[in-house]
């Protein structure tokens, strides 16, 4: 069967459920009532698809007739607990091995390629199409829902009564689900779409090690060349003055810095390597027609870092990070969405950029998003990433002379169980000597214990080979997804 049939069924069940019921503080069922409902659901599923005790969804036939029968059965009963516990059973049928297999991921990538070709076949000839998909389900227009993978690892409660109490106090249907989540399509910002990618690093982690390079501590004027101002109309039709083209003065040095840090990251077994904003080069960020960048295809085929996130590249009135796998395949680009304003007068010139959000779902770890600098300060965008899309890891490269706004807003992520890596450049703060080039937040139960600041290391002004090692715990406990353990930050001179 096509995997999307199963997720179309899930979308239909959720759509029917939320149309008829609220799933906030649903209350706790008595044991006898819960057993009765589970028996009723098992009986229905066995009748329609066979034994449900062991098989996962990829081994069942969910054709349109079967799915319609299940939906009709739900509507006839119109019981919120029927909907809730049916979705939990469907959730347990999801086979991560199949979803993350070469076959499963190729099916999703193929669907994206076909959709892109149908939309504009001529413009895509000879071009690489990223292996992404909009949602696991294909009935987005009919249901208005997007079903997304969920690889957040939370220690399950072996005590069924205690788990029942947690479900009873849930703040929405997503709280009861483990392997997927959903978002209403109209909850996205107007004109936006999601690009999802699934990767399986092949490792299982108790903690995540992230490498981060601030690149240099030279001042802005030494690092960047800014072209003549540009006069253009903004999105509201008003005349506005924009900064000219922003280019790196020492592209070769920036490229060497990042590649040196990548080599050390492989030696240290880091899971992720991050650069900072605007230190990207074409050599680091672009690919061949095959979608590969040979700089990242390691000869020894090391599996780590499983995510290589380049410094952002300012080019053609856009500012974007490129995200590669360990083998050098480009899995997506994240474009900066909201421009900064320089000295309250001139805006960063971002024009005709894709209104897309790249989400990378990493098996055994969670969901990654990549807001760039000022994007994190936009309230609506931040709320979408944290509270609507339930992003686990916000990786935010930045180039900012100020830190207080970032330090304030990242605290909002604690209640949603999200991590935030706000990573700045020493160059941006060189003349202000703030003693702070970033902050890392983990979702701990006490928010005052959640944040650790990144301060410049003992570099003696030689920041060309500077790398920070950031280690965070990722084992979550309970419904709120809090973690135990401390953040560890080390400064490495290469």
Distance CA(350)–CA(336), nearest Å, equals 8
With beta carbons less than 8 A apart as the criterion, state whether 333 and 322 touch: yes
Q: What is the pLDDT of residue 396?
A: 97
What averages of pLDDT result for each successive group of 10 residues across the chain (494 residues)? 80 93 77 89 89 65 85 93 92 84 61 59 59 89 94 61 55 84 94 93 88 87 83 70 82 93 92 95 91 82 87 91 92 92 67 92 95 95 94 95 87 90 86 72 84 75 76 82 88 86
Q: What is the pLDDT of residue 118?
A: 59
What phi and psi values does residue 468 have, to the nearest 5 degrees? -105, 135
Q: Using omega within 30 degrees of 0 as the cis cutoff, is the peptide bond preceding 399 cis?
A: no
CATH classification (class only), 207-493: alpha beta
With beta carbons less than 8 A apart as the criterion, state whether 11 and 137 touch: yes
Distance CA(355)–CA(334), nearest Å, equals 9
Q: What is the pLDDT of residue 159?
A: 44
Q: 366-369 and 393-397: which strand pairing?
A: parallel
Mind spelling out the 3-state secondary structure of 258-282? HHHHHHHHHHHCCCEEECCCCCCCH
CB atoms within 10 A of CB 296: 22
Angle at 452 between CA 207 and CA 474, to 5 degrees: 20
Domain residue limits, the chain: 3-187, 207-493
What end-to-end distance do the CA atoms of the chain give, in Å? 52
Return the SS3 of 407: helix
CB atoms within 10 A of CB 202: 12
In eight-state DSSP terms, residue 138 is S
Strand order in the sheet with 341-342: 230-233, 239-242, 346-347, 341-342
Q: Tell me the pTM.
A: 0.91
In eight-state DSSP terms, residue 310 is P
């Amino acid at each position: 069967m096509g995997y999307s049939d199963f997720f179309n069924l899930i979308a239909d069940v959720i759509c029917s459920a939320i149309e008829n019921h609220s799933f906030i503080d649903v209350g706790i069922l008595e044991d006898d009532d819960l057993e009765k409902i589970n028996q009723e659901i098992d009986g229905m599923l066995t009748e329609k698809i066979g034994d449900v005790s062991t098989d996962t969804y990829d081994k069942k036939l969910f054709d349109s007739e079967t799915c319609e029968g299940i939906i009709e059965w739900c509507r006839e009963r119109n019981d919120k607990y029927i909907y809730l516990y049916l979705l939990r059973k469907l959730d347990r049928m999801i086979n991560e091995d199949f979803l993350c297999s070469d076959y499963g991921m190729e099916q999703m990538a193929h669907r994206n390629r076909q959709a892109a070709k149908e939309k504009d076949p001529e413009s895509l000839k000879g071009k690489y199409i990223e292996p992404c998909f909009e949602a696991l389900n294909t009935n987005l227009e009919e249901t208005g829902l997007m079903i997304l993978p969920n690889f957040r690892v939370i220690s399950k409660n072996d005590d069924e009564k205690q788990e029942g109490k947690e479900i009873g106090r849930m703040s929405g249907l997503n709280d009861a689900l483990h392997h997927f989540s959903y978002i209403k399509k109209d909850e996205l910002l107007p004109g936006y779409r999601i690009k999802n990618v699934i990767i399986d690093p092949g490792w299982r982690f108790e903690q995540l090690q992230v490498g981060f390079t601030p690149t240099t501590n030279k001042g802005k004027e030494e690092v960047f060349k800014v072209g003549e101002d540009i006069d253009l109309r903004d999105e509201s039709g008003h005349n506005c003055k924009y900064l000219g083209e922003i280019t790196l003065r020492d592209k070769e040095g920036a490229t060497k810095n990042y590649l040196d840090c990548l080599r050390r990251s492989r030696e240290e077994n880091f899971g992720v390597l991050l650069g900072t904003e605007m230190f990207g080069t074409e050599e680091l960020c672009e690919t061949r027609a095959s979608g590969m960048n040979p700089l990242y295809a390691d000869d020894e085929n090391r599996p780590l870092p499983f995510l290589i996130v380049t410094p952002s590249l300012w080019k053609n009135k856009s500012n974007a990070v490129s995200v590669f796998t360990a083998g050098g395949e480009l899995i997506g680009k994240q474009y900066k969405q909201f421009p900064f304003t320089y000295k309250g007068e001139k805006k960063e010139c971002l024009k005709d950029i894709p209104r897309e959000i790249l989400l990378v779902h990493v098996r055994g770890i969670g969901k990654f998003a990549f807001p760039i600098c000022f994007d994190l300060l936009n309230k609506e965008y931040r709320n979408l990433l944290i509270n609507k899309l339930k992003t686990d890891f916000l990786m935010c490269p930045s180039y900012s002379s100020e830190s207080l706004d970032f330090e304030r807003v990242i605290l909002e992520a604690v209640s949603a169980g999200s991590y935030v890596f706000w990573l700045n450049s020493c160059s941006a703060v060189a003349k202000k000597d703030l003693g702070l080039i970033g902050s890392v937040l983990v979702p701990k139960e006490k928010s005052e214990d959640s944040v650790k600041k990144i301060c410049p290391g003992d570099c003696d002004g030689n920041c060309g080979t500077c790398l920070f090692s950031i280690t965070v715990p990722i084992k979550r406990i309970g419904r709120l997804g809090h973690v135990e353990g401390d953040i560890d930050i080390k400064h490495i001179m290469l």
